[in-house]
Amino acid sequence: MLPQFNSCRHLNLTLALLKPDITQMPYSLEQVRQLILKQGFIAIRSNIIPKMSRSQAEDFYKEHNSRFFYNRLVTYMSSGSVHAHVLALPSNSATGTNAITTWRTLMGPTKVMKTRYNEPETIRGLFGLSDTRNCSHGSDSLETAKREINFFFPNFDVIAFSGSLEEEKLLQKYGDNMLKLDHVHFVHYL
């Protein structure tokens, strides 16, 4: 049963990345997808990147280039397939529901060992291997979400999507519980 969203007028969007440690494990990947659906997310767009190049990973994580973990992170992200998803939730000002915070809560904290004990039902608590190999990434703000979505989906215009006929139809079908999911490509369609 999907959560009920009354008086929702727009979809909140976020970028969700599933990293190489989870994409290499089909059973675990399917469990993560089920957790995403159970939270009521709409998969607007999906893109499977068979292998990110090192330069793509460096560009995506450029704000971390002075951090001690940068080389380890970009090496890891360019080691296997990455699944990028534009996830959406209907906005609900009454409850403060939005896609960014809901996705980040579902992922759990970055520190995997602590997360296993403190938040074991999160994606990182269930499947994370280390602080770098922590299964997932999520945008931390609206501006970051726009930039990150554009990075993986250059032909998807976040601004144009807001208020579009596609958004309106997705909201209507979501409210009527009539959205269909393409399980192979992990994307909802009308």
pLDDT, one tens digit for every residue, the chain (190 residues): 444 444 457 999 999 999 999 999 999 999 999 999 999 999 999 999 999 999 999 999 999 999 999 999 999 999 999 999 999 999 875 666 699 999 999 999 999 999 999 999 999 999 999 999 999 999 999 999 999 999 999 999 999 999 999 999 999 999 889 999 999 999 999 8
Q: Which pTM was predicted?
A: 0.92
Domains of the chain as residue ranges with CATH: 11-53+80-189 (3.30.70.141)
Q: Is 85 part of the annotated catalytic residue set?
A: no
Catalytic residue (one of 83, 85, 137, 188): 137
Cβ partners under 8 Å of residue 78, min gap 6: 51, 52, 53, 54, 56, 57
